[in-house]
Amino acid sequence: MSFSTSRFLVVFFMFTLAANFGQASSNDPVSQKVMGFLNTAVQKFLQKYPEATHTITLRPFKGKLENCPQDLQIKSNMAHKPPVGVIRLNVECPGLWKTYVVAEVEVLLSVVLSQQNLSRGDVITAGLLQVQRISMSKLRGRYFTDVQQLEGRQVNRAIPVGRVIQETTLVPQYLVHKGKPVSIQSGNGALFVSMMGVALESGLLDDVIRVRNRSSGKIIDARVVSENKVTAGL
């Protein structure tokens, strides 16, 4: 069984056969279909992470499955979350049998970590950082994949050596500052309006903040798009 993208490492089956479990192998048609379903879902998700690699481990099937002469129906619990971690699949051969399959998907990302202890107030340079591959299941919040994204940023609390650098550990890079003037852009196509306002909150890129229109005094919600500039609907 082969897949077209060499970046992805797929480990098909790693398990010890127990007496009450049916055996599965890469030549088993049911196993192949389940693995194909999983690999398609994972590769679609990883389009946002082109440098990622992943492994898929399929646990033994419960009971012995007969070959299915028709298309398998496969449903998963991945509808509202990434296909990462422990995944349960409901597999059905219509009219013949139903079972569930458990798989483990591990995704590895290249992530920026501290190369030495960092103190509050330190300004980050490339020499203070390192890049390692980390399991996505261990990552929380906003992390960074490129050292250049962090150069010149200031640390707002201590970061131990080997710790993943997160946005929350850095002094915010606000594009809009509370109490400062902002340009409010509104409209699209032929109808486009620009007006001045005052930010009632500080905001990072893509944050939605409250802004007061200087002319009307009206308070609106607007999205931060660049330094001292926001957009809002008409």
Q: Which of 120, 135, 168, 170 is nearest to 150 (CA)?
A: 170
- Over residues 108-124, the pLDDT tens digits come to 999 999 999 999 999 99
Phi first, then psi, for residue 42 (nearest 5°) are -70, -45
Residue 27: pLDDT band (50, 70, 90) is low
- pLDDT tens-digit series, residues 47-81: 988 889 999 998 887 767 777 888 889 988 776 67
Cα separation, 108 vs 78, whole angstroms: 19
Other Cβ atoms closer than 10 A to 154: 13
